[in-house]
């Protein structure tokens, strides 16, 4: 795919305001927010190099680099690039970030395969939201550990939103207290997802169900995720004050998020069951220049 088409893809799928600039800030322990208004990226800084979770949209790299620089760190010191899931708003910028940093890309097998295809062949979106392919240097299994310096991150494969959706957990310390930080992948069900009778993802419902059980079993003191609205990032940041309790430390937020997400998941299933059967799968496109991707609403990606 040409650079022009990649940029066109990025513009077409930008829900309003998602990629707006935001100032970086310290979240908890050695975790920093370096992403945009709605699409998050997190830097986990260590003396031996840094970890970056999610690369945003295809053009998000310069903004992430500026935010890292504002915090006094260097993009070149990022050693590992992790991804929550293989959609354009989180994996779209990884190819450029990998080129600039030389960092190792680590992903689950299913999402590594999706990223190598540049998002094409998605079980929900098909080929409609492509991004620059990026190749994983390491495939992580469920329960696999990524270590950089003194920091360990554990992979929990929580499929549903994508087939390789990966939740990352780590233990951070604040005021000498250990805190379980959960970087939730995503448990949302965009409005045009097809969960029932989807030949490209026949186990979608079972995967969502299993992932809810997995996430509810995780110890969680701090909930973070790929979208700022999932954990009320702006509202919590506005409450941060020197000497006051950290508003991101909120164990109740973890269960509340899962309750909201599971309620929405079950409502989506009921709507699908009540709807007429979906039309047959569209025929494969003919060879030649692909059409520009359609505009995508916020509810379609989130």
Please check the confidence at residue 261 and state whether its pLDDT lies above 60.
Answer: yes
Q: What is the mean pLDDT of residues 176-200?
A: 97
Kindly list the catalytic residues.
Answer: 85, 87, 89-90, 161, 193, 227
pLDDT tens figures, 96-107: 999 999 999 999
Residue 258: the pLDDT is 98
In contact, 31 and 135? CB cutoff 8 Å: no
For residue 63, the SS3 value is: helix
Q: What is the mean pLDDT of residues 163-177?
A: 96
Residue 242: the pLDDT is 83
Cα dihedral 172, 175, 177, 180 sign = negative
CA distance 53 to 38: 15
Q: Name the residue ranges covered by the structural domains of the chain.
A: 3-275
CA distance 167 to 132: 23
Give 234-242 contacts, CB < 8 A, sequence gap 24+. Answer: 237/25, 237/33, 240/25
Show Cβ contacts of residue 111 under 8 Å, excluding neighbours closer than 6 positions: 83, 85, 86, 91, 162, 163, 164, 165, 166
Residue 11: the pLDDT is 43
Residue 99: the pLDDT is 97
Residue 132: the pLDDT is 97
In contact, 90 and 84? CB cutoff 8 Å: yes
Q: pTM of the prediction?
A: 0.88
In the block, residue with structure tokens 């097809």 = 194
Going by C-alpha positions, the residue among 37, 31, 51, 24 that lies closest to residue 248 is 31
Q: Which residue has the higher pLDDT, 127 or 175?
A: 127
pLDDT band, residue 12 (cuts 50/70/90): very low
Residue 281: the pLDDT is 63
pLDDT band, residue 69 (cuts 50/70/90): very high
pLDDT tens figures, 125-138: 999 999 999 999 99
Please check the confidence at residue 284 and state whether its pLDDT lies above 80.
Answer: no
Q: How many DSSP H helices and E strands does the chain contain?
A: 9, 12
Q: What is the mean pLDDT of residues 38-55?
A: 98
Could you please state the CATH topology (level 3) that the domain comprising 3-275 is classified under. Metallo-beta-lactamase; Chain A (3.60.15)
Q: What is the mean pLDDT of residues 42-65?
A: 97
Q: Where are the beta strands (DSSP E) in the chain?
A: 25-28, 31-33, 42-44, 50-53, 78-82, 104-107, 138-139, 145-148, 151-157, 166-174, 177-183, 222-224
Q: What is the mean pLDDT of residues 167-196?
A: 97
In this structure, the number of other CB atoms found within 10 A of the CB of residue 245 comes to 12
pLDDT band, residue 294 (cuts 50/70/90): very low
Helices (H), the chain: 3-12, 61-70, 88-91, 94-101, 109-116, 204-217, 233-238, 251-274, 298-301
């Amino acid at each position: 795919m040409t650079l022009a088409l990649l940029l066109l893809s990025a513009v077409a799928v930008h829900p309003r305001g998602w990629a707006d600039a935001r100032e970086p800030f310290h979240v908890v322990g050695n975790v920093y927010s370096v992403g945009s208004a709605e699409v998050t990226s997190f830097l986990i800084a260590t003396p031996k190099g840094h970890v970056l979770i999610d690369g945003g949209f295809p053009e998000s790299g310069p903004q992430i680099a500026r935010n890292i620089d504002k915090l006094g760190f260097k993009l070149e010191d990022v050693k590992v690039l992790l991804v929550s899931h293989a959609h354009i708003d989180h994996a779209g910028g990884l190819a450029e970030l990998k080129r600039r940093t030389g960092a190792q890309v680590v992903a689950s097998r299913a999402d590594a395969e999706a990223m190598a295809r540049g998002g094409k062949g998605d079980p929900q979106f098909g080929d409609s939201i492509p991004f620059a392919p990026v190749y994983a240097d390491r495939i992580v299994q469920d329960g696999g550990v990524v270590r950089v310096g003194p920091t360990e991150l554990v992979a929990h494969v929580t499929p549903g939103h994508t087939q390789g959706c990966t939740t990352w957990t780590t233990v951070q310390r604040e005021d000498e207290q250990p805190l379980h930080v959960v970087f939730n992948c995503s448990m949302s069900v965009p409005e045009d997802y097809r969960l029932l009778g989807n030949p490209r993802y026949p186990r979608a419902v079972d995967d969502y169900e299993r992932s809810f059980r997995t996430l509810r079993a995780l110890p969680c003191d701090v909930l973070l995720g790929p979208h700022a609205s999932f954990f009320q990032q702006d509202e919590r940041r506005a409450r941060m004050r020197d000497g006051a309790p950290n508003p991101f430390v909120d164990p109740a937020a973890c269960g509340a998020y899962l309750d909201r997400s599971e309620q929405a998941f079950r409502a989506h299933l009921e709507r699908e069951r009540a709807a007429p059967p979906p039309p047959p799968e569209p025929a494969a496109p003919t060879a030649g220049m692909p059409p520009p991707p359609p505009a995508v609403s916020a509810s379609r990606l989130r």
